[in-house]
Amino acid sequence: MKCLKCIYIISIALLGTFDLAISQHIKRENIIAIHNANVIPMNEEGILINYSIIIRNGIITEIGSSGTIKVPKNAEVIDAKGKYLIPGLSDMHVHLEGQAWNIIYPREKKFSTDEINYNDILFLYLANGVTLINVMSGFPEHIAIRDSVKKGNLLGPRILLSRMIDGADKAWPPPISTWVNNPQEAKLSVIDAYEMGYDRIKVYSFLSKESYDTIIATAEKLGMPVDGHIPVSSSVEQVAESGQRMIAHSEEMLKFTTDYSPDQIDYFSSLLSKSNIWLTATLTTSNNMAKLFEKGEVQLAKPGTEYLHPQMKGIWEYLFENLYKPVANERKAVVKDGYEQFQKSFVYDFYRKGGKLLSGTDALVPTILPGFSIHDELLELVNVGLTPFEALRVSTTDAHRFLGDLEIAGTIEKGKVANLVLLNSNPLKDISNTRNIYGVFSQETFITAEEIKKRLFEINKSYENLIQIKKMN
């Protein structure tokens, strides 16, 4: 046991050394030149062939044809010939590991703060080109993590944090969510989240209509956007006009209809596309849920799970055994039919009517791999009818349009933050090429594919050691 502990401590120390090296790299190298890239700027459709970009302190300061851009002598030069440069991707619906999840674990399986390494957890997103995440059930400890990333002390994607609020005794227990019994408690929960430093509020399914309305009104006064589910006490029509900023899943409509006809799809897509509300489709969530019902054990061990923190693996197993496995066959068929017959057509119709769409995966749901699953969601969007360019726009430009900061991020233009992904192949020809990453630009540094591979290997070994230690304690 002592040897295993030593191995684990050494592995953590090695990761700390890696992080320190990145930190030193950030401070030392503040000018990066990307030379001869094929740039997909996303402010317009098309490719800028053989362009060069100068990045100073994480900001794009020059962009132009390679023959017109002078590369500073002290720049770190990246030869991008034959590569394709896109803005960083976004996952606008994720969940992170944290102390709150210990509520579902027996005592011997709980994870301490020291055993949850956010360097590793967040790296899975950067490794997949995701430079922005929206955490839709944030915990108090995540506030410090978000701020560390913002200050450049922790390498990771930009983090938005929502506090989840729900009716009492229905779904996720405190401290995962905040339960409220009446409008007064609902009002206080929003004020508390605001004072703690959360960015947004997430409403869940079992709020009373009165509590929901109070949350919307209180959050509006405080300047906090509200996202989330459509409470069963409300309706699609009411939420469309409520001031709620975003609906978290395309499956939310299925709470209010069993009619999958083109007329019903047209009704919902027309209603929501005419409103000011955004939609995170999370099609990969529903697709994977249907697969989970059919081949649960196989799906829980899919490639990529070796990079999951053991706490998340435990959450997957708990949810599968307690929520998914007991589901009746009739209900399983409803989920599959809802995805196949309603959600896919609805998302396409909503988007074609001018609806505002975001990319999100609901990472932490069983089989949804953090970071990796954004590529599955982009493929889902293309499969339902979006072009590769449109799918990329949903995950880049539109995410920042949603946040209201498109003037500083979301496209490749002079003056924008240089959160970028360099790909080996053209994603406009095949959206699956977003998986084929040559390197990622984030927080004033360039992380190569080789560094990503090495780091993932180290993360896997670290988790293997942690699992062995917990088994022997």
The tokens for 389 are 């360019």
357 has a pLDDT exceeding 80: yes
Terminal CA-to-CA distance of the chain, rounded, Å? 8
- pLDDT (tens digit per residue) in 396-426: 999 999 999 999 999 999 999 999 999 999 9
- pLDDT (tens digit per residue) in 223-271: 999 999 999 999 999 999 999 999 999 999 999 999 999 999 999 999 9
- How far is C-alpha 127 from the chain's CA centre? 13
CA distance 179 to 299: 32
CA distance 245 to 275: 10
Q: What is the pLDDT of residue 28?
A: 54
- pLDDT (tens digit per residue) in 264-312: 999 999 999 999 999 999 999 999 998 888 888 888 888 999 999 999 9
Task: Using alpha carbons, list the distances in angstroms from residue 45 to 48, 368, 392, 463.
Answer: 10, 30, 11, 42
Percent of the chain with pLDDT over 70: 94
DSSP β-bridge partners for residue 38 = 84
Burial class (CB in 10 A: 0-12, 13-18, 19+), 248: buried
DSSP β-bridge partners for residue 87 = 420
Conformational region of residue 218, where left means phi above 0, alpha means psi within -120 to 50, and beta covers everything else: alpha
Burial class (CB in 10 A: 0-12, 13-18, 19+), 149: buried
- pLDDT (tens digit per residue) in 134-154: 999 999 999 999 999 999 999
The tokens for 113 are 């703060």
CA distance 363 to 442: 21
Question: Contact 434/375 with Cβ under 8 angstroms?
Answer: yes
C-alpha closest to that of 281 among 361, 226, 201, 382: 361
Q: What is the pLDDT of residue 294?
A: 82
CA distance 250 to 289: 14
Q: What is the pLDDT of residue 274?
A: 97
Instruction: Name which residue leads in pLDDT, 261 or 335.
Output: 261
**Could you identify the residue written with the tokens 């059930």?**
137
Task: Using alpha carbons, list the distances in angstroms from residue 6 to 73, 81, 265, 457, 466.
Answer: 44, 44, 58, 18, 11
96 has a pLDDT exceeding 90: yes
Helix axes 373-384, 344-352, angle to 10 degrees: 70
* Cis bond before residue 175 (omega within 30° of 0): yes
* pTM (global) more than 0.85: yes
The tokens for 298 are 């196989």
Q: Structural domains in the chain?
A: 2-87+412-472 (2.30.40.10), 89-403 (3.20.20.140)
Please list, in sequence order, all residues whose beta carbon lies within 8 angstroms of the beta carbon of residue 29, skipping any fewer than 6 positions away.
Answer: 76, 444, 445
**Quick one: average pLDDT of 370-390?**
99
- pLDDT (tens digit per residue) in 186-221: 999 999 999 999 999 999 999 999 999 999 999 999
The tokens for 95 are 């969940």
Residue length of the chain? 473
- pLDDT (tens digit per residue) in 100-113: 999 988 777 799 98
